[in-house]
Amino acid sequence: MQESRYNPGRIEEKWQRIWQDQEVFRSTHEDESLPKYYVLEMFPYPSGRIHMGHVRNYSIGDVVARMKRMQGYNVLHPMGWDAFGLPAENAAIKNNTHPAHWTYQNISYMRQELKRLGYSYDWSKELATCHPGYYQWEQLFFLQLYQKGLAYRKKAPVNWCPDCLTVLANEQVEAGLCWRCEAAVVKKELFQWFLRITDYAEELLQDLEKLAHGWPERVISMQKNWIGKSQGMEIEFPVNGLSSSVKVFTTRHDTLYGATFMSLAPEHELVPELIRDSPEQDRIREFIHRVSAQDQEERTAEETVKEGVFTGRYCINPATGENMPIYLANFVLLEYGTGAVMAVPAHDQRDLEFARKYNLPVRVVVRPEGHDLSPDDMTAAFSEPGTAVNSGQFSGKPTAQVQEEIADFLENKNLGRRKTNYRLRDWNISRQRFWGAPIPVIYCPQCGTVPVPREELPVLLPQEADMPLDGRSPLPELDSFVQTTCPECGGNARRETDTMDTFVESSWYFARFTAPRRKDAPFEPRAIKYWLPVDQYIGGIEHAILHLLYARFFVKALRDLGYWSLEEPFANLLTQGMVLKDGAKMSKSKGNVVDPDEMINRYGADTVRLYCLFASPPEKDLEWSDAAIEGSCRFLNRLWRLVEELGPALSPVGPCVDMNAAELSPQEKELRAAEHGALRKAGRDMLERFQFNTAIAAAMELVNALSQHKEVLTARSSGKKALSSALSTVLSIMAPITPHICEELWSRMGYKTSLARTPWPEYDSRALLQDEVLVVIQINGKLRSKMSVPADMDQEELKSLALEDAKVQKHIQGKSVTQLIVVPGKLVNIVVK
CB atoms within 10 A of CB 801: 16
Nearer to RNA, 489 or 584 (CB): 584
Contacts 24+ apart (CB under 8 A), 543-547: 543/42, 544/218, 544/219, 544/222, 544/223, 544/575, 545/171, 545/222, 545/223, 545/226, 546/171, 546/172, 546/179, 546/503, 547/42, 547/503, 547/506, 547/507
Nearer to RNA, 332 or 745 (CB): 332
CB of 222 to RNA, least distance (A): 4
List the beta strands (DSSP E) in 458-516.
Answer: 483-485, 492-495, 499-500
CB of 826 to RNA, least distance (A): 4
Instruction: Give the 3-state secondary structure of residue 61.
Output: helix
Nearer to RNA, 171 or 535 (CB): 171
CB of 814 to RNA, least distance (A): 14
Q: For residue 71, give the nearest of 619, 541, 682, 497 by alpha carbon.
A: 682
As a whole number of angstroms, the distance between CA 283 and CA 675 comes to 82
β-strands 536-540, 441-444: how paired? unpaired
Nearer to RNA, 783 or 791 (CB): 783
Nearer to RNA, 147 or 800 (CB): 800
CB of 48 to RNA, least distance (A): 25
CB atoms within 10 A of CB 562: 8
678, 685 in Cβ contact below 8 A?
no
Nearer to RNA, 335 or 771 (CB): 335
Kindly tell me the burial class for residue 796, based on how many C-beta atoms sit within 10 Å of its own C-beta (0-12, 13-18, 19 or more): exposed
As a whole number of angstroms, the distance between CA 572 and CA 212 comes to 9
Nearer to RNA, 106 or 263 (CB): 263
Nearer to RNA, 128 or 698 (CB): 698
Q: For residue 550, give the nearest of 796, 195, 70, 112 by alpha carbon.
A: 195
DSSP tag of 688: I
Q: What torsion, rounded to 10 degrees, do the Cα atoms 116, 117, 118, 120 define?
A: -120
CB of 97 to RNA, least distance (A): 34
As a whole number of angstroms, the distance between CA 767 and CA 772 comes to 13
Nearer to RNA, 255 or 502 (CB): 255
131, 148 in Cβ contact below 8 A?
no
Q: What are phi and psi of 640, to 5 degrees?
A: -60, -50
DSSP string spanning 594-642?
A: --HHHHHHHH-HHHHHHHHHHSS-TTS-EE--TTHHHHHHHHHHHHHHH
Nearer to RNA, 250 or 514 (CB): 250
CB of 499 to RNA, least distance (A): 25
558, 552 in Cβ contact below 8 A?
no
Instruction: Give the 3-state secondary structure of residue 168.
Output: strand
DSSP tag of 665: -
CB of 112 to RNA, least distance (A): 29
Angle between the N-to-C axes of helices 739-748 and 717-734, in degrees from 0 to 180, rounded to the nearest 10 = 160
As a whole number of angstroms, the distance between CA 357 and CA 132 comes to 59
As a whole number of angstroms, the distance between CA 193 and CA 432 comes to 11
265, 328 in Cβ contact below 8 A?
yes
CB of 224 to RNA, least distance (A): 8
As a whole number of angstroms, the distance between CA 16 and CA 740 comes to 8
Nearer to RNA, 471 or 824 (CB): 824
CB of 728 to RNA, least distance (A): 20
CB of 336 to RNA, least distance (A): 3
As a whole number of angstroms, the distance between CA 340 and CA 350 comes to 14
CA 105 to chain centre: 28
Nearer to RNA, 80 or 736 (CB): 736
Nearer to RNA, 145 or 352 (CB): 352
CB of 273 to RNA, least distance (A): 20
Q: What are phi and psi of 530, to 5 degrees?
A: -75, -45
CB atoms within 10 A of CB 324: 24
Beta-bridge mates of residue 427: 195
CB of 812 to RNA, least distance (A): 13
Nearer to RNA, 111 or 641 (CB): 641
CB of 102 to RNA, least distance (A): 30
Nearer to RNA, 69 or 363 (CB): 363
CB of 95 to RNA, least distance (A): 32
Nearer to RNA, 58 or 635 (CB): 635
CB of 182 to RNA, least distance (A): 12
CB of 296 to RNA, least distance (A): 9
667, 710 in Cβ contact below 8 A?
no
As a whole number of angstroms, the distance between CA 79 and CA 538 comes to 12
- The residues, ordered by sequence, that sit 6+ positions from 751 with a Cβ below 8 Å of its Cβ are 652, 728, 758
- The residues, ordered by sequence, that sit 6+ positions from 433 with a Cβ below 8 Å of its Cβ are 86, 89, 164, 165, 166, 473, 499
CB of 444 to RNA, least distance (A): 38
Question: Can you give 545-556 as a three-state secondary structure string?
Answer: CHHHHHHHHHHH
Nearer to RNA, 249 or 554 (CB): 249
Nearer to RNA, 702 or 735 (CB): 702
CB of 148 to RNA, least distance (A): 27
As a whole number of angstroms, the distance between CA 165 and CA 721 comes to 69
